[in-house]
């Protein structure tokens, strides 16, 4: 489930509020609020769309988890999904790196 909107990174652009398919976030005067955490389906898409790498989705789908933001930053976990799918400048080549055709038919 979504656990963190990092106040240091977040610019209150509200993209996460728009893109979350299950409407987990609410807009505020500042950074968005995780208003309905239990509706999070753990699809990681808010994190993927966040241009500032301010969000972290824990892989635990059924219960909230305590997370240590400093440790996540230290481990460069924030934004790791964006980098892996090639949605940042330095990894753009990964957008066409799909090798599923080598895996099908197994």
Binding region for other proteins (CB under 8 A): 17-23, 39, 41-45, 48-49, 57-62, 77, 80-81, 84-85, 87, 94-104, 106
Closest separation between CB of residue 39 and other proteins, Å?
8
Contact call for residues 5 and 54 (beta carbons, < 8 A): yes
33: helix, strand or coil = strand
DSSP assignment letter at 76:
T
Closest separation between CB of residue 87 and other proteins, Å?
8
Closest separation between CB of residue 24 and other proteins, Å?
10
Distance CA 78, CA 16 (A): 15
């Amino acid at each position: 489930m979504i656990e963190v909107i990092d106040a240091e990174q977040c610019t209150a652009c509200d993209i996460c509020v728009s893109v979350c398919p299950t409407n987990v976030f609410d807009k505020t005067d500042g950074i968005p609020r995780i208003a309905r955490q239990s509706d999070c389906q753990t699809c990681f898409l808010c994190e993927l769309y966040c241009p500032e790498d301010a969000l972290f989705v824990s892989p635990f789908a059924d219960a909230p988890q305590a997370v240590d933001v400093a440790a996540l930053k230290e481990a460069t976990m924030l934004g790791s999904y964006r980098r892996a799918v090639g949605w940042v400048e330095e990894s753009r080549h990964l957008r066409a790196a799909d090798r599923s055709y080598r895996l099908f038919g197994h």
